[in-house]
Amino acid sequence: MTWTWMGITLAAHLVSLTVLAGGGVGSIVMHTALTGALRRSAAEASALAGTMMRFALTAQLGAVLMALTGLGLLVERQWADWGHTWLVVKLSLFVVLVLAGPIIARPAGAALLQALAAGKPDAPGVTAALRRLTLFHLVQKSGLIAIIVLAVLRPGA
């Protein structure tokens, strides 16, 4: 078996995608569990919200690794894909999805944690935060699927 930098970089890129997707899926699972726990206990919901936020950090780590390994892939291919429409769309989606975390999800998660820590699972802020997080997760997963499809099919390449 011959190891090449291209193979190693591509493998690292796929591992990064796995970390990103794992953090995202874990966050969705915790969000779903948290929604059910709100009916039972503010303490349980608060613990699940904290876990959801840790999964989000895992996804962010995966995103950073994906950016670095993606850059490595571009360098390895001598920037051959640079300027192709599929890559421009993929990178644009990636930037939007990465920025949505700190701009939309983190404030909603912090508001949710604060309301739950105060023992107010039925506060209006909880419902609004959960709604924003639901929309965030829907957009994130749809965008991630689009990125994977673009990377695999490379339309117009």
Please give the average per-residue pLDDT across 36-41, as a whole number: 86
What's the pLDDT at 1? 61
Evaluate if residue 125 carries a pLDDT over 90. Answer: no
Exposure string for 112-137, b = 16+ CB within 10 A, e = fewer: bbbbbeeeebebeebeebbebbeebb
What's the pLDDT at 146? 95
- pLDDT, one tens digit per residue, over 93-119 is 999 999 999 999 999 998 888 888 887
Q: What is the pTM of this model?
A: 0.86
Evaluate if residue 20 carries a pLDDT over 80. Answer: yes
HEC profile for the chain? CCCCHHHHHHHHHHHHHHHHHHHHHHHHHHHHHHHHHCCCCHHHHHHHHHHHHHHHHHHHHHHHHHHHHHHHHHHHCCCCCCCCHHHHHHHHHHHHHHHHHHHHHHHHHHHHHHHHHCCCCCCHHHHHHHHHHHHHHHHHHHHHHHHHHHHHHCCCC
Residue where the block lists tokens 């990125």: 147
Please give the Cα distance from 132 to 47 (Å, whole number).
Answer: 19
